[in-house]
Structure 1
Amino acid sequence: MSTYKVLGLMSGTSLDGLDMAYCHFIEENGRWKFSIERIKEVSYTNEMREYLKNAIFLSEEDHAQLHKDYGIWLGEQSKHFIDEENLEVDFISSHGHTSHHRPEDGFTFQLGDGQLLANTSKKQVVCDFRTKDVTLGGQGAPLVPIGDKLLFREYDFCLNLGGISNISFDDTGVRIAYDIGLANMPLNYITQRMGLDYDENGNRARTGTLDHDLLQKLNSLAYYKLPYPKSTGYEWFTGEIVPLIQASKATNIDLLHTFIHHNCEQIANEVKKYAVKTPNKLLTTGGGALNQFFMDTLQEKLGSTATVSTPSKTLIAYKEALVFALMGVLRLKGETNVLRSVTGAREDSSSGEIFYPTTD
């Protein structure tokens, strides 16, 4: 029985920063056990946040340079974390940062050059977990459901609230997962207009008033009517959501209030659609799970269909880094780490590119 010691790296659409989770995994009797041994978040500077946020608009040459620069930066941060905590690391498993995601065009791109990350950190690296699935006709997302299936079997539904919301569950023995829609992306956009990093516990949103006109427009968005498999991202937000925010006459606090109600209505709709018993256990992770008004509103919309369960703050914040660490283990073992039932690809795959440090 082997213990895999992995440093998982995750940067999500919310652009808070780099999440690093040093994890141990053991496979015992066909079941995976895990522990998160050390964690660290490195916040992005305003300059880096803007650079990453606007990567989609960069020229091909500038985008290629950012890919290299970010790979070196990831390597530097990893090496510093490993050294300061004196960690014994078998390899690094990196999600990178998604700059482009257009699976309908057969294209997705995760920033963070794997070779430069390996060279800088002096560790083996597994990264770029989405591209292979897209070449197989899949959405390349969401990827976390393999972790839900293998690490969190006791929950009926696993909900992640990052920049966007995605859900994962078993339907007649097959794992299903897809992006529901919005989560923190509009909330972050609005709080930044207010000069705030975030709305702690949703305290400001809780005092707001519902904008019924905006709520109706949000609930009518075409994306919600699409069948799964489906995924979305920053392009959808900037193209369809930002114009609605900018056109609204509502106050920022009323906007926060309305978006949380909208998010929770859409999530509850999906859970109720697939719930086969009552009550269900719903595991909620990601930054949105730290927003108490978000959680209270979600429980209210779900009613008796499901009980919202929020785990430790460490698991809330670092679950995605944990899962990408596991995906790296599965890749090195040659086992499935991306599910076609989730992404819509022609077949399951063992995805991820492997890099070894060189001295060149």
Structure 2
Amino acid sequence: MESAIFTAVEQNNYNVVGVMSGTSLDGIDLAHVNFTFSEGWNYKILTAETVPYPESWQKILAEAVSYDDGRLKQLDKDYTRFLAEVISEFLSKNSIFDTHAICSHGHTIKHEPEKGYTLQIGNLPELAKLLNRKVICNFRVQDVELGGQGAPLVPIGDELLFPEYDYCLNLGGFANISTNPKGERLAYDICAVNTVLNSLAQKLGKPYDKNGKLAASGELNKELLEELQKIPFYGLRPPKSLGIEWVNKYIFPLFERYDAVPSLLRTYTEHAAEVIANEFRNSSGEKVLVTGGGAFNRFLIEEIRRRTQTAVVIPSAEVVNYKEALIFAFLGVLKMRGENNVLSSVTGASKDHSSGVIFQP
């Protein structure tokens, strides 16, 4: 056993696939990545793709938060089979024959860390059997069991793969930020972004608000803006994290009194920009790396830039789109090495730890 652990740690070159499905339900991100270690970690994204969800799966995943235990159990099996098909197609299409592991996040259905509970479907042992590959998955559960928020998990990648930035900001279904102000990594969710903006755009028959054009055309609703700014979550200290339940409870009910969707888009975008910009120390010498689908929302980015002196950096489209898949691939590599991949300073768990479950085919 000792020699196996020693071999894993001594190895410094890994070929893995990271798989991520986010709360915005736009699809499954897959990234084939090579990691090398030599006085620090380096990565190369060899190929990457987003496989959009069919409408039927989008509907199921959006409704699943209200499923009972029996339906969730069946959904977990069905989704694991669906995920295996998507991953198999990606491997076959890109002629990926040799991998050290498939590192998969699964899809979050419920996230209630304050109740000691988080559920990601698609993390069953069958995934390894169906793919006939080693699978590393279920990265959040152990952290919640250790008293943590189970999120965010990406900051270990920010720390080791993107050390040149003062902040890493991800604009996905939710905005989350990662920073290291005093030699200790902090990261937490800030606010909802695409879960809200996409939902509003869909009322106008659009999958999302491209470049924020609809928001830019709307009128600012100052009354709604003030209501949004009073939401209690913004005053909490980290660690803190968000789920769709929070959006359903605190955001959507505030919209019910208003009909003009472009105005709602405009107001919520300005609100999100304000809340996000407040997280920077506002120094002209600092840099924030922005990734996630929201990085392409020009209006949102302009509104953030307007409110801060911190340099807002948008990297290559590849990094914008696939940073989370890249880092879940990296979490799997660290798990294989028996090294910590979750930071207690970020999640509030009782200790740093090496999270995830390894399934052999």
State the TM-score bracket (shorter-chain normalisation). Answer: over 0.9
Please tell me whether the aligned partners of residues 123 and 138 of structure 2 are also in contact (alpha carbons under 8 angstroms).
no
**In the alignment, does 2:307 pair up with 1:297?**
no
Q: How many residues of Structure 1 are paired with residues of Structure 2 in the alignment?
A: 350
Taking the aligned partners of 1:25 and 1:245, their CA distance within structure 2 comes to: 45
RMSD: 1.0
Residue among 166, 169, 176 paired with 1:156: 166
In the alignment, what sits opposite 2:139?
Answer: 129
Taking the aligned partners of 1:278 and 1:84, their CA distance within structure 2 comes to: 45
Deviation, 1:114, is: 3.0
Taking the aligned partners of 1:333 and 1:326, their CA distance within structure 2 comes to: 11
5+ residue gaps, structure 2: 1-10
Residue among 32, 35, 41 paired with 1:32: 41
Please tell me whether the aligned partners of residues 157 and 169 of structure 1 are also in contact (alpha carbons under 8 angstroms).
yes
Query: Where in structure 2 are the equivalents of 1:1-360 lying within 5 Å?
Result: 2-29=12-39, 31-87=40-96, 88-249=98-259, 251-272=260-281, 277-302=283-308, 304=309, 306-357=310-361
Task: Name the SS of the counterpart of 1:62 in structure 2.
Answer: helix
Task: Name the SS of the counterpart of 2:218 in structure 1.
Answer: coil
2:33 maps to a residue whose letter is C
1:52 maps to a residue whose letter is L
Task: Name the SS of the counterpart of 2:279 in structure 1.
Answer: helix
TM-score w.r.t. length of structure 2? 0.95
TM-score w.r.t. length of structure 1? 0.95
Taking the aligned partners of 1:115 and 1:40, their CA distance within structure 2 comes to: 24
Task: Name the SS of the counterpart of 1:61 in structure 2.
Answer: helix
2:225 maps to a residue whose letter is L
Please tell me whether the aligned partners of residues 75 and 119 of structure 1 are also in contact (alpha carbons under 8 angstroms).
no
Q: Which moved more, 1:155-164 or 1:237-246?
A: 237-246
Task: Name the SS of the counterpart of 2:125 in structure 1.
Answer: helix
Taking the aligned partners of 2:123 and 2:331, their CA distance within structure 1 comes to: 18
Taking the aligned partners of 1:85 and 1:269, their CA distance within structure 2 comes to: 42
Please tell me whether the aligned partners of residues 114 and 125 of structure 1 are also in contact (alpha carbons under 8 angstroms).
no
Deviation, 1:348, is: 0.4
5+ residue gaps, structure 1: none
Deviation, 1:248, is: 2.2
Deviation, 1:242, is: 1.0
Taking the aligned partners of 1:214 and 1:162, their CA distance within structure 2 comes to: 23
Please tell me whether the aligned partners of residues 4 and 90 of structure 1 are also in contact (alpha carbons under 8 angstroms).
yes
Task: Name the SS of the counterpart of 1:223 in structure 2.
Answer: helix
Q: What whole-Å deviation, never above 9, does each CA across 1:223-252 have from its counterpart, x for those lacking one?
A: 101111000110000111111122224x11
Aligned-residue sequence identity (percent) comes to 45
Consecutive aligned runs of 4 or more in structure 1 exceeding 6 Å deviation: none
2:160 maps to a residue whose letter is L
Q: What whole-Å deviation, never above 9, does each CA across 1:64-106 have from its counterpart, x for those lacking one?
A: 0111111111111111111111113221000000011000000
